[in-house]
Structure 1
Amino acid sequence: MIRSTAEDEYRVVTLDRPDRRNALTRGGLDDLVEVFETASEPVVYLCGAGDAFCAGADLDVVADLDSDEAAAFAERGQDAANAIADYDGAVVAGIDGPARGGGVELALACDVRVATPAATLAETGVALGLFGAWGGTTRLPAIVGEGNALDLSLSGRTVDAEEALEMGLVSRIVADPTTVAAEIAANDPDAIRTIKTRIRDRADSDTQERREATAFTSLIESFEPPNRNG
């Protein structure tokens, strides 16, 4: 269900269940956690197989869960999203085709979300009597603002790539999102990891500034200026 391959410049993690639009079972979530806990590349590209990014949780599985199993399933989805968010490197989501529910939430956990013109995104849980429990109620408002988060989550409406770009749900629209992963991977790996850590730091501003200076000093130790005569 999860395919992980090392490219020359970055790792590609593919949600590989195209017959179900890459909907995730508990086993798929377990595999996703394992992949991100064991990968070591400075950049990971997350995508879906076939004509969708990810339909979220497999609803046939969800329908059969009892209360304890539902809690465990939600927590495992959160584990998967957190494994992506906490990865020691940059994670780029390439959204080509539909992203729904948990698929949106996995994308929200990525550092950079890139859409193709065919991408559509929706938090569809409300129509089913559910909601985004893989971090959707925390990451979505942090990224698009409370008003947009409530609009998307309460209506369940679908937004296309252009509207997603306007509200900051994605940062670019490109024909081939792998080009963005390659663009990022072409940079210094230590700087990539440091920038992610610093930007995602939620400490108070004074603490962040001290940590920023320390991290910059660490990078300077291996810094080599470009050849100005070249």
Structure 2
Amino acid sequence: MIETEVEGDVRTVRLGRPERRNALTPAALDDLAAAIDDADETVVYLTGAGSAFCAGADLDAVAELDDENQARDFARRGQRVARTIETAESAVVAGIDGAARGGGVELALACDVRVATPAATFAEPGVTFGLFGAWGGTVRLPEIVGRGDAMDLALSGRALDADDALRTGLVSRVIEEPRTVAAEIAGNDAAAVRAVKRRLRDDADREARERREADAFAKLVVERADDLRARRREEE
């Protein structure tokens, strides 16, 4: 499901499950972390195959989480992938074309640069069916867009188009070909790119907040397991 290719100083990491809008299973999360962790190129370009960036967590996998420990572990797994992106030596650029939902938004939030096409849309829809994004989203979203816009997006579940995402600071550019930004960054001195990333990423510890986020998510998953299974059957 996770596809990689290297061209010059850019490693492309592609979520390759277009028939499910690149929804991520636990195994795919592990593979994604490995693909990022293995990179020694100046830039990693993270994107999705087909018409979506990433639909977030695979709801089939979430519906199989039978107790709070399993649900908490799943949340922590996604958080570890996001931190792998955040702490990678390479600069990580998210190229978002089409829908980014839930965990897809959260993985994009962990990237150093987010670039959208005009067709990109963003939403945290979990609240509409009794959950929320727990891969670090409640931590990073207000840091990036401010608490007011974060509350609006997360509590309403509404979708933002590319222009709204640009206005809020969720993305830094809206262009037809986001990969050109990855190439632009890769054209700079590799050591300087790494040094700048380290300095800009030097912030306070957030792991305690992420643990509380995972605990809250786990409780909701267990309470709503039957509803999640029914929702998946309706989507089939």
TM over 0.5: yes
Bigger CA drift: 62-71 or 188-197? 62-71
Q: CA deviation at 1:69?
A: 1.6
Query: Separation in 1 of the partners of 2:66 and 2:42?
Result: 39
Matched, 1:133 2:134: yes
1:176-219 deviation per Cα after TM superposition (whole angstroms, max 9, x unaligned)? 0010000000000000000001111126xxxxxxxxxxxxxxxx
Corresponding residue for 1:180? 181
Amino acid at match of 1:174: I
Corresponding residue for 1:61? 61
Q: CA deviation at 1:9?
A: 2.8
Q: CA deviation at 1:39?
A: 1.2
Amino acid at match of 2:172: S
**Aligned 1:41-60 pairs, distance under 5 A:** 41-60=41-60
Corresponding residue for 1:158? 159
Amino acid at match of 1:107: A
- Which structure 2 segments of 5+ residues have no match? 205-236
Amino acid at match of 1:54: C
For the residue of structure 2 that corresponds to 1:50, the secondary structure is: coil
- The structure having more radius of gyration, on CA atoms, is 1
For the residue of structure 2 that corresponds to 1:180, the secondary structure is: helix
Query: Separation in 1 of the partners of 2:176 and 2:77?
Result: 32
Amino acid at match of 2:153: L
Corresponding residue for 1:222? none
Q: CA deviation at 1:90?
A: 0.6
1:126-157 deviation per Cα after TM superposition (whole angstroms, max 9, x unaligned)? 01111110000000000000111110000000
Amino acid at match of 2:145: V
Corresponding residue for 1:107? 108
Query: Separation in 2 of the partners of 1:108 and 1:96?
Result: 15
Corresponding residue for 2:170? 169
Corresponding residue for 1:120? 121
**Aligned 1:1-230 pairs, distance under 5 A:** 1-67=1-67, 68-202=69-203
Bigger CA drift: 67-76 or 160-169? 67-76
- What's the TM-score, normalizing by structure 2? 0.85
- What's the TM-score, normalizing by structure 1? 0.87
Amino acid at match of 1:199: L
Q: CA deviation at 1:33?
A: 1.1
- Which structure 1 segments of 5+ residues have no match? 204-230
Q: Is the 8 A contact 2:39 2:90 kept in 1?
A: no
Query: Separation in 2 of the partners of 1:66 and 1:161?
Result: 37
Q: Which structure dedicates a bigger proportion of its chain to helix?
A: 2
Amino acid at match of 2:175: V
Q: CA deviation at 1:72?
A: 1.1
1:32-53 deviation per Cα after TM superposition (whole angstroms, max 9, x unaligned)? 1111121111100000000000
Query: Separation in 2 of the partners of 1:163 and 1:37?
Result: 32
Amino acid at match of 1:198: R
Amino acid at match of 1:129: G
Bigger relative contact order (CA 8 A; separation at least 6): 2
Query: Separation in 1 of the partners of 2:76 and 2:66?
Result: 14
Percentage of pairs with the same residue: 65
